[in-house]
């Protein structure tokens, strides 16, 4: 997510430190997949480098006597065409690595001190690029609407995307799918992440935002827990809730306002009444 709004020096809190730590921990857990994503284009470049060396050797042999025979000219043309094709492949490989490194840098950097005007689609795409290896056995469908830039702390919102997508991946069997939908709804934006996993039992749906809660099918096992994700969303004046039917997957819906509250509280502590309300809200969303 790139941003163009000035920083707000009054936005500093322990939650930001926890998010930064969790983000780096998440990258550590994903390192094997990230190495694979970098190694694939790097391997192509390495292989092509050897081909280019042999092509250059042939050209040197042809030009050694400073006389190019007609049949040698055809060979030179063939080599030039091959080299051009190799360079095009290398360009794609380099661009792939540059894009991945850029996404890693953006995802792993420490949050700034304030709210920025962020492109949520860019944040989602960056997160998907980092998770490419993990998501490869399933299909990812993007149904993006037109969104304005949103005032938020981009790295915290990116971490929420990371956690929700990993949660969906862990619940979705190979061959399944994850669908990401975005839309503007009046003075807010909505992001929905749906999976085709086993769903969440109705008896557990009201507890999924409790700290440390993990369902038996392995959901919510990586990165930030859903409780902290909800704290981040609350911090931004938004809402995060879930709907699910056993056997038909789950949908997590995130709403973020286009106008932030005048002052975002330094910490987010849920009272027992708020926790109870969260449980009721989650249950009311069950389809």
Of residues 61 and 269, the one with the higher pLDDT is: 61
Contact of 243 with 286, CB cutoff 8 Å: yes
Lowest-confidence range among 128-132, 146-150, 237-241, 282-286?
A: 282-286
Q: What is the mean pLDDT of residues 239-253?
A: 91
Task: Collect all residues with Cβ–Cβ distance below 8 Å to 106 and sequence separation of at least 6.
Answer: 1, 126, 158
- Residues 128-142: tens digit of each pLDDT: 988 888 898 999 999
pLDDT at position 217 is 52
CA dihedral over 260, 207, 193, 14, signed as positive or negative: positive
Closest CA to 194 of 209, 176, 212: 176
C-alpha–C-alpha distance, residues 223 and 24, integer Å: 9
User: Residue 40, CB half-sphere, CA atoms under 13 Å: how many?
Assistant: 11
pTM over 0.75: no
Q: Taking the domains of the chain in order of start, what are their residue ranges?
A: 14-35+104-284
Of residues 26 and 53, the one with the higher pLDDT is: 53
Write down the architecture of domain 14-35+104-284 according to CATH: 2-Layer Sandwich (3.30)
């Amino acid at each position: 997510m790139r941003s163009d709004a000035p920083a707000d020096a009054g936005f500093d809190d322990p939650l930001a430190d926890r998010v930064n730590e969790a983000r780096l921990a998440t990258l550590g857990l994903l390192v094997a997949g990230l190495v694979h994503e970098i190694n694939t284009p790097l391997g192509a470049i390495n292989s092509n480098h050897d081909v280019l060396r042999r092509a250059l050797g042939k050209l040197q042999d042809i030009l050694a006597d400073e006389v190019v025979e007609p049949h040698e000219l055809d060979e030179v043309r063939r080599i030039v065409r091959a080299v051009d094709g190799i360079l095009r492949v290398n360009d794609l490989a380099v661009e792939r690595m540059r894009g991945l490194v850029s996404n890693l840098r953006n995802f792993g950097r420490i949050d700034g001190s304030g709210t920025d005007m962020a492109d949520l689609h860019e944040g989602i795409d960056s997160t998907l690029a980092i998770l490419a290896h993990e998501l490869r056995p399933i299909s990812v469908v993007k149904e993006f609407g037109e969104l304005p830039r949103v005032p938020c702390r981009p790295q915290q919102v990116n971490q929420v995307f990371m956690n929700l997508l990993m949660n969906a991946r862990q619940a979705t069997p190979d061959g399944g799918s994850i669908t990401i939908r975005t839309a503007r709804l009046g003075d807010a934006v909505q992001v929905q992440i749906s999976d085709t996993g086993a769903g969440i039992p109705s008896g557990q749906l009201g507890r999924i935002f409790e700290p440390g809660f993990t369902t038996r099918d392995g959901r919510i096992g990586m990165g930030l827990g859903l409780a902290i994700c909800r704290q981040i969303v609350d911090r931004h004046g938004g809402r995060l809730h879930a709907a699910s039917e056993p056997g038909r997957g789950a949908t997590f819906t995130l709403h973020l306002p286009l106008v932030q509250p005048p002052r975002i509280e330094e910490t987010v502590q849920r009272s027992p009444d708020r926790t109870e309300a969260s449980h009721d809200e989650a249950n009311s969303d069950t389809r």
